[in-house]
Amino acid sequence: MNCMLEIESLSKTYGDFYAIQDIHLNIVAGDICAVIGKNGAGKTTLFKCITEQVFQTKGTISFYGKSDRVEVRQERHKMGAIIEEPAFFQDFTARQNLEYYRQQRGIAGKSSIDQALREVNLMDTGKKKFKAFSMGMKQRLGLALALMTHPTFLILDEPTNGLDPEGKAEIRQLLQRLNREKNVTMLISSHVLSELQSIATRYIFIDQGRIIQELTAEELLNKTRKSIELVVKDSRQAAPILEKNFPDIPYQILPNHHIQLFGGMDMTDQINRVLHNHNIAVISINIKGEDLEEYYLSLLGGERNA
Ligand SMILES: Nc1ncnc2c1ncn2[C@@H]1O[C@H](COP(=O)(O)OP(=O)(O)OP(=O)(O)O)[C@@H](O)[C@H]1O
């Protein structure tokens, strides 16, 4: 497995307070890893430790297999990050802002600016000043800045924050394209699970500084997939009747005469009636499975703080 980032036993304290505690995390090349947690959960602190904006109290961070600070620093040009909004000059254009940072960071070649602007679809902003940009354009310019060094690994702290649904979708598409076409690996945070749901390949749920759950996209889908849970007197009698009358609804027989149906969520009355007409006693019929937001809230222990 090509492990890009490996974090072991990472903690960061401020005084006695653990902003993050005992974090273990591996990011594999090609991952889009979503870090999901409420405000104050520790997402930014984790990202700041990775990018050395703060130093961890305990633990190790290896990047491309290297954990020595000097060696990690040498690999750092492969990492692009947006943590908190980059300070752009209000009266500069997109190009002028990027040129300022290109010089400040010693990035060779002006072509990196054009390329980055093209990646984020900001080539045609011409003389428009930063202060006249929409929120989405501002976010995309931040991304262009992170892309100027052609990173293979991107760290983005809440990149869809403050955007309208259209702007969020635009950023998601852009990130997905970078991942697919340029194989850029990503670590992205959000406090809204559904915002990264369509693009993330892995989910890390973080609460009060600790990872409370890790799921692949497939595992999350299974957990939040709705199904009908049917309990009957005799599942062996019920199964052929379901198959004959509802051939398009896949099902599985579970122990104790439980049957799970993956579809027909709006047909529970009909299912009940058909079984009843065939003298199959239905003990209960319920829809199971939480939607994404319910799942997230139950994981994080209730109250939403967004
Ligand atoms: N410099 C600091 N000094 C003291 N406490 C801090 C400092 N930075 C962060 N914290 C605390 O650490 C905890 C985690 O903060 P962090 O910013 O990492 O959370 P977050 O998940 O990124 O939240 P948000 O979504 O609001 O950005 C919070 O309780 C915060 O108040």
User: Is 43 a pocket residue for ligand 1 (Cβ < 6 Å)?
Assistant: yes
Distance between CA atoms of residues 191 and 39, nearest Å? 7
Q: How far is CA 159 from the centre of its chain?
A: 11
Q: Which amino acid is at 216?
A: T
Band of the pLDDT at 28, cuts 50, 70, 90? very high
Cβ of residue 44 lying under 6 Å from some atom of ligand 1? yes
Model confidence over 247-257: pLDDT tens digits?
999 999 999 99
Radius of gyration over every alpha carbon of the chain, rounded to an integer in angstroms: 24
CB count within 10 Å of CB 274 equals 18
When pLDDT is cut at 50, 70 and 90, the band that residue 113 belongs to is: very high
Q: Ligand 1, from 14, 36, 160: best to mutate by most atoms within 8 Å of Cβ? A: 14
* pLDDT, tens digit (0-9, with 9 covering 90-100), for 7-27: 999 999 999 999 999 999 999
Atom of ligand 1 nearest to the CA of 209: 14
ipTM of the complex, rounded to two decimals: 0.96
Binning pLDDT at 50, 70 and 90, where does residue 169 land? confident
Burial class (CB in 10 A: 0-12, 13-18, 19+), 256: exposed
Q: What's domain 3-222's superfamily in CATH?
A: P-loop containing nucleotide triphosphate hydrolases (3.40.50.300)
pLDDT band at 1 (very low <50, low <70, confident <90, very high): low
How far the first Cα of the chain sits from its last, in Å, is 36
CATH fold of 226-288 reads Alpha-Beta Plaits (3.30.70)
Q: Are 176 and 71 in contact (CB under 8 A)?
A: no
Mean pLDDT, the chain, whole residue set: 90
- Residue by residue, what is the 3-state secondary structure of 227-294? EEEEEECCHHHHHHHHHHHCCCCCEEEECCCEEEECCCCCCHHHHHHHHHHCCCCEEEEEEECCCHHH
Domain parsing of the chain, residue ranges = 3-222, 226-288
The residue nearest atom 2 of ligand 1, judged by CA position, is 14
pLDDT tens digit sequence for 186-220: 999 998 888 887 799 999 999 999 999 999 998 88
